[in-house]
A and B are shown apart, each in its own frame.
Chain A
Amino acid sequence: MLKGLGNVVVKELKELLRDPKILIGMILVPLVMFPIMGFVIRGAMESTEERLQSLQIGVVDFDHGIIAKNLTDFLDDLDTVILVNISASNVEEAVEILQTETNATDLIVIPAGFTENVSQANPDKYPVTVEVYSVFSGAGGIAETATSSVVSEYLEYFKKTLAPDPFQTVPKSIVKGKPTDVPPSVLFSIMFSQVFALPITVSILLVFSMQIAATSVASEKEEKTLETLLSLPISRFTILFGKLAGSTIVAAVGAIAIIVGFNYYMGSFMVMGDMGVSLDLAAIGLAPTLLGYLILGASVFASLLSALALAIIISAFSEDVRGAQSIVGYLYVIIMLPMFIIMFTDFNSLPLAARIVLLAIPYTHPMLAAQATLTGNFLMAIFGVVYVVLFTVALLYIAAKLFATEKILTAKLRFRGFRLRKKKG
């Protein structure tokens, strides 16, 4: 029936495996990419675990009764908790002390009348509420809300030593140094959009745009139109910038689409929230400001431009579209890597060397700019925009040099290792 199939399969395998581009793209890149991702995720999990193993919790006691003392003693006795007693006259003051004088991530507020009401053991008649405020930085990756859950677990455990369900625990958040009623889970959803949705969308856009730009030069080579174009009485810069402008317009439309979509996405949180309570992000200082959007837009656009210039330079070294796309494919590592790291870790807690490497990659900056819309750390985002612009200018200079010489026609990426091996064979 399928006579000759083996022969065809062997030929296919020879063709595919002898193509260095496929070998590198399909085998070597995953072999490098996955261990790095594993390393990053393991690091993130370890640092989260470490954080939870020595959790710093602030307690402000407005009750001063025996059960309140039992609660603080209970928490203090836990090996995994470093308890910080805070004296304050109200929650705002306690939050301020927590933020300025301690490294605690959570604040438990024991209300006045706690001991008396809990002693009644009648939660219907004497409801008691313990508020747990978690500091929300917006830059901690997926580990951000872990502490809040752990504190709630501790309180649940303590409750079981008393009567059945003697008090309610209400999770709340501390945003930009101010206590708010928004639970950390809701903020996590918002952060999810920043640390997951936006970077993923930006990465897709970068990858897509690079493909467009690489194809635009490579197809000129493949279709043999580049030589004609280069012999026309127009400057090489005109050709280069024409290509860049074409790809940039497409990319800019993409960047605008992202910002508009992102804004809509953020807007959807206005009507979201626990128990149908509407949530006004602007009121708690989490709605991206116009400045935030501008910086984010600039960052995304500058990175796109650099990606396009890079793709054009790379495609100059390939002879056809397939070759250009394969080579551009290698660059996805430097786009995906920052994305994963920022998703899973707190950038600021990474080792200095890792931070320097990440900051050197231009595609880290739109991810950090996205976080900045939450954290308000615009200085870093602006630095990022400036860096990416400088990086892009350098790339454009190289691209212009390439276009000005015969290298645009004659440059080829050589895989010497493979040639040598072939010769020996």
Chain B
Amino acid sequence: MSFAVEAESLVKVFGDIRALDGLSFKIKPGEIYGLIGPNGAGKTTALRIAATLILPTSGSAKVYDHDVVSEASEVRKLIAYLPEEAGAYKNLSGDEYLRFMAKFGSESNEVLEETVRSAEEISGLGDRLRDKVKTYSKGMKRRLLVARALMTKPKLAVLDEPTSGLDVLHSVHVREIIKQYVEKHGVSVLLSSHNMLEVEYLCERVALIDHGKIVAEGTPEELKSKNKVENLEEAFAKVVGLA
């Protein structure tokens, strides 16, 4: 069976810091998989490796059977990556930004227009797309960027803290569009978050990650019942020995 992501014993060392320490996980096609853990647990590092931005010190990762190191350019054709706190070019309008990004994956004008239309729909920004990005609020910018990540219908969307820093209304909107879009187009998602509520709502399976290692894995329900707790936050605290 071909996995959307197949990470095997990933280790990443930055100087004296061991950001990942033998991380292994598999994501099935069409699945939303969440990495959750505190700041500095290694979530972003794992996502950056999957997005071909950094290389693992050892271990391997494959996206739909393509190695992220030796076949990085193939992997980039399959994925869309949304970094945490990512920005957009502030002197472009939202529409120009989407077009700029859409052009890289569009082989014809029809595809380009279709991609941009789809992004307009996902973002829900309407006429504000004609305005420059620098006039956007944080929430609007995030909606634009989520739309950018999903508009090309990637086989794998790598989303780092998709609702980080957003207020409740924007967070709800962003979660909704991710969930709907994934269901509609069968996109696989690898996301990271330290918002357990979000993960519980979005993810089919989650991995609790601490000090670069997975300390527990399963569906949110499994993790809660196994640890005899009411939510993932408590499950995490229990697993890492805080409760």
Q: Show the binding face of A for B, using Cβ within 8 Å.
A: 223-225, 227-228, 230-235, 405-406, 409-410
Contact = CB atoms under 8 A, between A and B. Distances in A.
Contacts of A233: 73, 76-77, 104-105
Contact of B83 (A228, A235, A406): A228
A405 B14 CA distance: 14
8 contacts: A223-B87, A225-B89, A227-B48, A228-B86, A230-B53, A231-B76, A233-B73, A409-B53
Interface of B: 14, 48, 51-55, 73, 76-77, 79-83, 85-90, 101, 104-105, 145, 148, 158
Nearest to A228: B86
A231 B55 contact: no
A230 to B, nearest CB: 6
Nearest to A238: B104
A225 B53 contact: no
Give the residue among A233, A234, A235 with the most B Cβ atoms within 10 A: A233
A147 to B, nearest CB: 56
Nearest to B51: A231
Give the residue among B86, B87, B148 with the most A Cβ atoms within 10 A: B87
Given A230-B53, A410-B54, A224 B101 contact: no
A232 B101 contact: yes
A409 B148 CA distance: 21
Nearest to B76: A233
A406 B51 CA distance: 12
Contacts of A234: 76, 104
Contacts of A406: 53-55
Nearest to B104: A232
A369 B80 CA distance: 49
Instruction: Tell me the interface secondary structure of chain A in the complex.
Output: loop
A235 B104 contact: no
A231 B52 contact: yes
Contacts of B53: 227, 230-231, 406, 409
Contacts of A227: 48, 51, 53, 81, 83, 86
Contacts of B158: 231
Nearest to A230: B53
A228 B89 CA distance: 11
A414 to B, nearest CB: 10
Nearest to B79: A231
A225 B76 contact: no
Contacts of A409: 48, 53-54
B81 A228 contact: yes
Contacts of A228: 81-83, 86, 101, 145, 148
A46 B1 CA distance: 82
A225 B145 CA distance: 10
Given A406-B55, A410-B14, 19 more contacts: A224-B87, A225-B88, A227-B48, A227-B53, A227-B81, A227-B83, A228-B148, A230-B52, A231-B52, A231-B53, A231-B158, A232-B76, A233-B76, A233-B105, A234-B76, A406-B53, A406-B54, A409-B48, A409-B53
B9 to A, nearest CB: 19
Give the residue among A224, A227, A406 with the most B Cβ atoms within 10 A: A227
Given A406-B54, A409-B53, A231 B89 contact: no
3 closest Cβ contacts across the A-B interface? A223-B87, A231-B81, A406-B54
Contacts of B89: 223, 225
B147 to A, nearest CB: 13
Contacts of B90: 223
A224 B101 CA distance: 15
B179 to A, nearest CB: 22
